[in-house]
């Protein structure tokens, strides 16, 4: 998963996958327009996904896309996401369990228009991230998360990383911001902290646990930059 639009270290991950005979599947839902070593994310895995949900970098209202270079898998994905009906002039026969996950034409049309705007959106996202970075540069107790060296990120969502010694201020910061009309958020919960998964086996993820406590998600809409420019 390319969290918050920042590519994971795909080379390192695929080495691990080879070593342990695992299939790599990239969750690039948040990472349309992000690059790993000059290549767009979504190329390394056997399959990858993008999301066009309302909160993502571009939207079709809902839905997403499956990416793969495996022709057979592509046909299978197309088949079972469009009710698994065998093509025929009049017969209505389905050859396996299928799903109606087709993107309606109206949503696809919206997506085409959104795609045309993607370069502009990403430029604005990156500018906004830079403004945040500069604004918080002199504040000792928090940093803006910046893209890894190997990556060019879309900065889908900007993250303020609280210093480990300031975690007790997090609730206060969230409360005060909301009272001032600034909708900042904590990070999503880790899966193993969700009640329905809490009894599942879980490895040591103390690094993620430490990170998630520090994260505050900042407003990151491209419209924000328009507002700044208009002032
Ligand atoms: C949004 C998101 C999804 C789900 O995408 P939907 O289009 O809402 O189903 C999956 N993974 C990540 C990392 C996401 O951010």
69 and 55 in a common domain: yes
The CB of 53 under 6 Å from ligand 1? The reply is: yes
Query: Which range marks the domain in which residue 94 is found?
Result: 3-116
Percent of all residues in the chain with a pLDDT value above 70, rounded to a whole number: 99
> pLDDT confidence of 230, banded at 50, 70, 90?
low
CATH at 122 = 3.90.1150.10
Structurally, the chain folds into a number of domains equal to 2
147 and 84 in a common domain: no
Rounded Cα–Cα distance for residues 150 and 9 (Å): 8
CATH at 94 = 3.40.640.10
pLDDT tens per residue across span 45-63: 999 999 999 999 999 999 9
pLDDT of amino acid 128:
96
Burial class (CB in 10 A: 0-12, 13-18, 19+), 218: buried
175 and 128 in a common domain: yes
- Secondary structure element (H or E) that encloses residue 49, with its range: strand 47-51
pLDDT tens per residue across span 125-138: 999 999 999 999 99
Indicate the average pLDDT of the chain: 96
Site to probe by mutation for ligand 1, drawn from 64, 187, 188, 208 as the one with most ligand atoms within 8 Å of Cβ, is 64
């Amino acid at each position: 998963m390319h969290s918050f639009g920042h590519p994971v270290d795909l080379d390192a991950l695929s080495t691990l996958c080879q070593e342990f005979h695992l299939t790599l599947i990239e969750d690039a839902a948040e990472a349309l327009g992000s690059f790993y070593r000059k290549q767009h994310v979504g190329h390394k895995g056997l399959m990858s996904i993008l999301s066009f949900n309302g909160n993502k970098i571009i939207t079709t209202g809902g839905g997403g896309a499956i990416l793969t270079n495996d022709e057979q898998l592509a046909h299978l994905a197309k088949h079972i996401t469009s009710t698994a009906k065998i093509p025929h002039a009049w017969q209505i026969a389905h050859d396996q369990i299928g799903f109606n996950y087709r993107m309606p034409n109206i949503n696809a049309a919206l997506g085409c228009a959104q795609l045309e705007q993607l370069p502009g959106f990403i430029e604005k996202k990156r500018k906004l991230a830079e403004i945040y970075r500069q604004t918080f540069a002199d504040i000792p107790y928090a940093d803006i998360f910046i893209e890894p060296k190997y990556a060019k990120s879309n900065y889908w969502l900007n993250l303020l990383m609280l210093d480990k010694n300031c975690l007790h201020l997090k609730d206060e910061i969230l409360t005060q911001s909301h009272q001032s009309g600034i909708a900042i958020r904590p990070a999503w919960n880790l899966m193993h902290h969700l009640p329905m998964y809490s009894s599942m086996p879980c490895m040591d993820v103390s690094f993620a646990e430490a990170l998630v406590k520090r994260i505050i998600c900042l407003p990151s809409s491209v419209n924000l930059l328009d507002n700044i420019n208009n002032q």
